[in-house]
Amino acid sequence: MKAAFSFLRGLIFILWMYGLMVLMGIVFSPLLLGPARWTHKIVIIWIKLTLWGLRLFCGVRLHITGHENIPQGGMLIASKHQAMLDVLWPLLVFSNPALVFKKELMLMPIFGWYALKLGNIVVDRAGQATALRKMMHQAETLASAGRQIIIFPEGTRTSPGVTVPYKPGVAALYRAMNVPCVPVALNSGLHWPAHGLGFKPGLVTVQILPPIAPGLERKPFMKTLESQIETASADLLI
Of 178, 180, 172, which Cα lies nearest the Cα of 136? 172
Q: What angle do CA 23, 24, 30 make, to 5 degrees?
A: 115
- Which helix or strand (DSSP H or E) is residue 138 part of? helix 129-144
CATH 3.70.10.10 fits 61-235, yes or no: no
Please give the model's pTM, rounded to 2 decimal places: 0.91
Residue-wise pLDDT for 70-109, tens only, equals: 998 889 999 999 999 999 999 999 988 998 887 787 778 8
Residue-wise pLDDT for 175-218, tens only, equals: 988 999 999 999 999 999 988 888 999 999 999 999 999 999 99
Count CA atoms within 13 Å of residue 120 on its CB side: 24
DSSP string, 94-107: SSSEEEEEEHHHHT
Cβ atoms of 155 and 167 closer than 8 Å: yes
More confident residue, 82 or 135: 82
Domain spans, the chain? 61-235
**Is 80 exceeded by the pLDDT of residue 132?**
no
The bridge status of strand 181-186 relative to strand 148-151 is: unpaired
Rounded-to-10 torsion of CA 153, 220, 67, 65:
70
